[in-house]
């Protein structure tokens, strides 16, 4: 009897050891499992936060200013440092009031020889007017654009760092569009919807590479506030419902269902309109708020759009979701 008990005991210990070594009792090594499940890098939210802060530290990135020129140079250098082939697409574009703006779209191409590509984008300029500020005295002051501008670029720079360190299967292009936020101020009358997104409008008419194609595009705009959600934006759903599904499903799978809400938000004029007009099915990941009259974060187009209202958790949620989508794409 004692012998039989001891026998069961030994078999039991062996089983525990076997299971313990493999995580799952599949007989496969841990390495096999990693290869099967893919090695998706861990997005570093603090690094993204720092990239946001560095942009804001340049000052107001308003077209035509010294801060704008310096930021453009820094962004191009950062993309190149992470291994991208960089194109600076420079032109003069005309604002709603006839002002001539020196515009620079910054395009980072990773593995440009690959035919299967994903396009990621964000606008890097900041708005010259805080025309939505509660204090009218501030309406002609520029905004720091920590969330409106720098947040999307910060997330994409952190993604660029990962792509540089570990190539995904897909080729990736990152475009930082200029002059998105020079749209006609609130005190201008009339329909000014085409006064926004001047950089992406220019790019759509002068694509950086003949015959350029991407499987799809993802635009990030205002992705750094705390406590707000991402809704399925109207035009994104119209042009690229399958990409909305892909991104929202991914977010849910990795634990961000509470941020990426399974509901529709408003229709937003943004750079993705022109990414779509260039023939690339594109979506806009943008925080919306049912609680403010503009529908965006409370500091939108105010002098308070600064680092105090940037939440690394939100940057991390968006960054890890987009990074996962990219590395899972084959």
Nearer to ligand AHN, 149 or 319 (CB): 149
Based on the shown chain and the rule CB under 5 A, indicate whether residue 181 belongs to the binding site for Zn ion: yes
| Piece of 38-46, 96-104, 244-252, 265-273 that binds ligand AHN (CB under 6 A) | 265-273
User: 47 vs 126, which CB is nearer to ligand AHN?
Assistant: 126
Q: Is 173:118 a contact under the CB 8 Å cutoff? A: yes
271 binds Zn ion (CB under 5 A): no
CB 255 to Zn ion: min, Å: 29
Q: Say which entry of Zn ion, ligand AHN, none residue 305 contacts (CB below 5 to 8 A, set by partner kind).
A: none
For the beta sheet containing 100-110, the strands, ordered from the edge strand earlier in sequence to the opposite edge, are 85-94, 100-110, 171-177, 117-123, 216-221, 282-288, 229-232, 260-264
**Span 210-239, contacts to ligand AHN by CB under 6 A:** 221
Compute the least distance from the CB of residue 130 to ligand AHN, in Å.
Answer: 12
For residue 150, what are the contacts with CB-CB under 8 A and spacing of at least 6? 51, 52, 55, 56, 124, 126, 224
Whose Cβ is closer to Zn ion: residue 163's or residue 197's? 197
User: Between 188 and 262, whose beta carbon lies closer to ligand AHN?
Assistant: 188
How far apart are the C-alpha atoms of 216 and 117, rounded to whole Å? 8
Compute the distance between CA of residue 282 and CA of residue 105 in angstroms, rounded to an integer: 18
Beta bridge partners of 122: 176
Of these, 158, 181, 233, 305, which contacts ligand AHN (CB under 6 A)? 181
Interaction between residue 292 and ligand AHN (CB under 6 A): no
The packing angle between helices 45-57 and 151-165, to 10°, is 130
Nearer to ligand AHN, 51 or 196 (CB): 196
**Span near Zn ion by CB under 5 A; candidates 29-37, 51-59, 119-127, 279-287:** 119-127
Residue 269 touching ligand AHN (CB under 6 A): yes
C-alpha to C-alpha distance for 237 and 268, rounded to whole angstroms: 11
CB of 193 to ligand AHN, least distance (A): 6
Q: In angstroms, rounded to a whole number, what is the distance separating the alpha carbons of residues 251 and 247?
A: 6
Angle separating helix axes 45-57 and 66-81, nearest 10 degrees = 150
């Amino acid at each position: 009897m004692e012998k039989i008990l001891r026998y069961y005991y030994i078999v039991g210990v062996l089983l525990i050891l076997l299971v313990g070594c493999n995580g799952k009792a599949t007989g496969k090594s841990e390495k096999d499992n990693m290869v099967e499940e893919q090695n998706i890098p861990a997005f570093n939210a603090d690094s993204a936060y720092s990239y946001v802060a560095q942009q804001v530290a340049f000052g107001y990135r308003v077209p035509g200013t010294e801060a704008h020129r310096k930021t453009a140079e820094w962004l191009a250098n950062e993309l190149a440092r992470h291994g991208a082939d960089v194109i600076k697409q420079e032109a003069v574009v005309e604002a709603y009031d006839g002002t001539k703006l020196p515009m620079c779209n910054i395009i980072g191409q990773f593995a440009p020889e690959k035919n299967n590509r994903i396009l990621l984008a964000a606008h890097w300029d900041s708005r010259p007017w805080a025309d939505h500020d509660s204090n009218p005295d501030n309406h002609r002051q520029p905004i720091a654009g920590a969330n409106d501008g720098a947040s999307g670029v910060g997330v994409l720079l952190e993604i660029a760092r990962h792509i540089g360190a570990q190539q995904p299967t897909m080729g990736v292009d990152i475009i930082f569009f200029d002059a998105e936020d020079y749209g006609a101020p609130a005190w201008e009358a009339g329909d000014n919807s085409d006064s926004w997104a001047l950089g992406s409008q220019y790019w759509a008419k002068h694509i950086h590479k003949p015959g350029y194609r991407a499987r799809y595009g993802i635009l990030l705009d205002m992705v750094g506030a705390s406590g707000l959600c991402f809704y399925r934006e109207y035009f994104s759903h119209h042009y690229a419902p399958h990409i909305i599904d892909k991104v929202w499903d991914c977010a849910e799978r990795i634990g961000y269902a509470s941020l990426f809400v399974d509901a529709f938000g408003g229709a937003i004029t943004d750079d993705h309109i022109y990414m779509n007009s260039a023939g690339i099915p594109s979506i806009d990941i943008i925080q919306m708020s049912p609680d403010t009259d503009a529908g965006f974060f409370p500091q939108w187009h105010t002098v308070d759009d600064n680092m105090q209202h940037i939440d690394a958790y939100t940057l991390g949620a968006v960054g890890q979701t987009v990074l996962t989508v990219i590395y899972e794409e084959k």
